[in-house]
Structure formats: C-alpha cells, structure tokens
C-alpha cells in the first residue's frame, strides 16, 4: 500500500476536526500543484494550470466519528455521534480519543451485557446514548486529566491489503478519493490549458458544507466530485438494490438520493461516458436511492455549476473498516483526467 494512501486512511479527522488530514493533503498537493491554500472553512484548495476555463475537483476529507459529551463519576465517557453511524455496529469496538495535545487515548465502546438485561430490554436494539467508552480509569478526575469534553473520537485506525488488489481501511469514505484526487493533479500536465482546482473539502458528512463554500469561492465552469458509493456484491444485497461490484471500475453516478441529491445533467453524463468509452476505462453506472455527495451543493451553487460525480464502489461504508479495490481507484483517476481534458475542449 502506498504511503500516502495509508497515511490518509490512518489519520484522524471527523467532521470539523480535519486539521491532521488537511496537513497530509496540503503536503501531497504541494508536490503536484502550482499553489495550495487552506480557506477559512478548513478546505484545502490546490491550483494547477492556467487558462480561460476553471475546473474543480472535490473530494471530502472528513470521516464519521464521535465527540466526547460527558464523563461520569466512575470515569465512563458518554458521546454524541458525528455523521451517519448505525448504533448496532458500536458495542465492543475499539476507539481512539484525540486529546488537545494530539495524543490518542484508547478506549472500548461498552454497553450493558445481554446476561444482565431484562427480557424487555433484550428485545430492543441498544441505542448509542445507552453506550459508553471505557478507557481503563476509575474516576472522572483521572479521565479529565487525559480527555476533555469536545475531544474527537475515531474508530481504531487500520489499513492494509486483504488479497491482491482488494484493500481495507478506516475512513475509506472518503480518503481513497482524496488520494485519487492527488493522483489526478499529478497526471495533469504542469502547463495545462485551464485552471484546475483540487479541493479537499471539510464537513461533508454533516451537511455537505465544505463543498458549498469552496465551489462558491472558485465558481468553476465544470466540477467533478469523487466519492465512494455502496458496493452491492455482498450477502443480503440484491442486484436490483445495488449491482455495483468492487473491481469492475469506477461508477459514473447518474442520480443520487432519488433526486434529492445531484441529478447529473444529460450533457455531463454523455461527456463522462464518452470519455470512458473513448479511453477504454472500466466503469459502472450508479443510480442511488439514498445518500448524496458534495455534488448536491456544488451543482446548485450560484447560478448552477455543471457537475459530474465519480463514485468508487466500497463495501461496509460508514463502518469501522471498509473494503475496496485499487483497480476502481485507478479507474477513477483515469476517468477524471480524461473527463477534465474533454470538458476543457467541449464544454
């Protein structure tokens, strides 16, 4: 696994706490861009090339997680969720609390064991506000020496190779797309005939916020959002729900959240699909019932911005660990580059 990808997957950066990821992205983008800045909202924006047209690439750098809310007298920590997390995945997971010094404090997500539940309690799913984090200290006073109210909490970092091109990692949504965006900037010529802006956006998981502010600032002629999407090649998911498979290419998104999110304009769909066919790039088609990307706020910003979405099929999104295929990441890079070149000529 390339070091940049591993660093991104292992880094901490829930929504609103993206500073460490931003540092990684800043360093990586400086190597492949003409300039890099961090705006007031926390988005990292790199620029490359010079020309009449402005092209924007967006990939959000925040991850789902939690924040410390309360510490009781016995030293147990209570929390709120940040982003979409299914409560059922939480019990027993190892987490890390990032304190004000940047130190990582390990803890275990606990709940009342089933052995001690009443018959009525056992029938109901356990909710996150009945859970707590145990860091092995036995008083509020001791805990508050190493953890503060408001500290971010991430799932235990992990990243590696499962088998061949199939990788796993924490925060694959959306750090694999941040990695892909760096590679796109790397592959575009230094003297490219357009201004290309690579935006690592903040706070996507809690309202697509960074995509809105960065696209307003840049006001591009065309934008590409790179994100992950739900792969359906696992038990319990029928093809009619999701026919996407890891390893079969990047997904070209047509519509997301049943139209509540981005409805990609017909001319943009054609542009991206033609680019894929002309360059023989493996791809799939994505029509999503639920979930949306930064594209939803980018394409409705100002007077409207032509926007396309490339989605990398990923298993177990919004879980402590996700699984993806590097071939799909590579095809996302190839199609983004081909689409940008085509957009500069045709849009």
Q: How far is the C-alpha of 182 from the C-alpha of 188, rounded, in Å?
A: 10
Q: Are 77 and 108 in contact (CB under 8 A)?
A: no
Q: How far is the C-alpha of 39 from the C-alpha of 199, rounded, in Å?
A: 10
**Per the residue annotation, which of 18, 195, 204, 256 is the catalytic one?**
204
Strands 54-60 and 195-201: parallel
- Taking residue 282's Cβ as centre, other Cβ atoms within 10 Å add up to 15
- Token pair 């290309």 is found at 196
Q: Are 215 and 285 in contact (CB under 8 A)?
A: no
Q: How far is the C-alpha of 221 from the C-alpha of 298, rounded, in Å?
A: 11
| Closest C-alpha to 319, from 202, 232, 230, 226 | 230
| 341 phi/psi in degrees, rounded to 5 | -60, -40
- Check residue 21 and report its DSSP letter: H
- Token pair 């910003």 is found at 301
204 is catalytic: yes
Q: How far is the C-alpha of 14 from the C-alpha of 62, rounded, in Å?
A: 5
Q: How far is the C-alpha of 143 from the C-alpha of 95, rounded, in Å?
A: 15
Catalytic residues: 204
């Amino acid at each position: 696994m390339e070091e940049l990808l591993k660093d991104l997957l292992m880094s901490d950066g829930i929504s609103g706490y993206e500073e460490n990821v931003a540092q990684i992205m800043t360093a990586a983008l400086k190597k492949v861009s003409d300039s890099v800045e961090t705006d007031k909202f926390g988005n990292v924006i790199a620029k490359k090339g010079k020309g009449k047209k402005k092209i924007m690439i967006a990939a959000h750098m925040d991850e789902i997680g939690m924040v410390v809310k309360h510490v009781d007298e016995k030293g147990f920590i209570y929390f709120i969720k940040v982003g979409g997390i299914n409560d059922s995945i939480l019990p027993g997971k190892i987490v890390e609390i990032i304190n004000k010094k940047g130190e990582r404090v390990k803890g275990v997500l606990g709940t009342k064991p089933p052995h001690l539940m009443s018959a009525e309690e056992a029938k109901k799913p356990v909710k996150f506000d009945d859970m707590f984090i145990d860091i092995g200290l036995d008083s509020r006073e001791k805990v508050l020496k190493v953890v503060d109210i408001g500290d971010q909490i991430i799932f235990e970092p992990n990243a590696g190779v499962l088998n061949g091109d199939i990788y796993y990692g924490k925060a694959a949504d959306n750090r694999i797309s941040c990695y892909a965006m760096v590679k796109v900037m790397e592959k575009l010529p230094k003297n490219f005939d357009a201004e290309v802006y690579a935006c690592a956006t903040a706070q996507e998981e809690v309202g697509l916020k960074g995509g809105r502010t960065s696209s307003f600032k840049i006001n591009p002629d065309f934008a590409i959002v790179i994100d992950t999407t739900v792969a359906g090649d696992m038990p319990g998911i029928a093809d009619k729900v999701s026919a996407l498979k890891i390893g079969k290419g990047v997904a070209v998104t047509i519509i997301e959240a049943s139209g509540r999110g981005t409805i990609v304009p017909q001319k943009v769909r054609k542009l991206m699909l033609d680019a894929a066919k002309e360059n023989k790039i493996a791809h799939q088609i994505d029509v999503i019932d639920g979930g949306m990307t930064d594209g939803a706020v980018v394409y409705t910003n100002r007077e409207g911005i032509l926007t396309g979405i490339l989605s990398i099929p990923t298993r177990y999104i919004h879980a402590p660990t996700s699984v993806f295929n590097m071939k799909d990441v590579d095809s996302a890079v190839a199609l983004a580059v081909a689409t940008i070149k085509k957009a500069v000529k045709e849009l």
